[in-house]
Amino acid sequence: MTNWNDKAKRLLKSELVKRGVSNSDLALMLNEIGVEETKASIDSKISRGRFSACFLLQCLMVIGCHKIEIEDYESQLLMVAEPYEPYKSIAK
């Protein structure tokens, strides 16, 4: 089952890391376009993984992210999962 909040959180964090943008930097960049956020409010939103799509788009825009790739965690898990084999009891 997909945890969408976790997926959004990982996406935003990875894009910030790729560009070397800290949460303090992000707060300043957002303030420059009229979005009033503090480092503390950004820390809180990202750590919870609960933020609006509007906030996500604002963040991606100010850091210069024009394309994103959404990872498919479920298919990756299926590729590495062990095949199902029922347990065999040891005959005595």
For the chain, what are the domain ranges?
4-80
The pLDDT tens digits of the residues spanning 56-65 come to 999 999 999 9
Q: Taking the complete model, does pTM exceed 0.75, yes or no?
A: no
d(CA 84, CA 87): 9
Q: Tell me: pLDDT of 82 over 50.
A: no
Determine the pLDDT at residue 78.
47
Please write the tens of the pLDDT for every residue from 7-47.
999 999 999 999 999 999 999 999 999 999 999 999 999 99
* Alpha-carbon gap, residue 10 to 71, rounded angstroms: 10
The pLDDT of residue 3: 87
